[in-house]
Amino acid sequence: MNCPEHINIPLHHTATRELCAILLDNSLKHSPKNSVVKICIIPSKQNITIHFINDGTISQQTLPHVFERFFRGNQRTKGYGLGLPLAEQLTKALGGQISVSTSKNSTIFTISLPIL
């Protein structure tokens, strides 16, 4: 995890914790076995940006649909296709933004939340 030793940022605690848990679970679920999920936290005066970086990839056909309810890009993994749509709703409810990018080697989910 890349962050300062001590970081105290006023955010909506419960919703932010749930949001991070969803994105971490998704990153772990869709990464190759024994790979590392990296979390990079970047605070600023007005917001906090958190990147969840994993070694899995998302196809270009799947990418536009990852935040759709009940959509599952990989039918072999457990789930109902509700985690990422919930993450998007939580992010918007907190006044933030969520995005995803993918390359041939990794996928990055990024959330940016305003500091209270």
Kindly report, residue by residue over 27-48, the tens digit of the pLDDT. Answer: 998 888 899 999 998 888 889 9
The whole-model pTM stands at 0.86
pLDDT exceeds 60 at position 3: no
What integer pLDDT is reported at residue 2 of this predicted model? 54
- pLDDT, average across residues 68-77: 79
Instruction: Answer yes or no: are the C-beta atoms of 115 and 56 closer than 8 Å.
Output: no
Q: Which CATH architecture has domain 13-114?
A: 2-Layer Sandwich (3.30)
Kindly report, residue by residue over 74-90, the tens digit of the pLDDT. Answer: 767 777 888 999 999 99
Q: What's the distance, Cα to Cα, between the start and end of the chain in Å?
A: 23
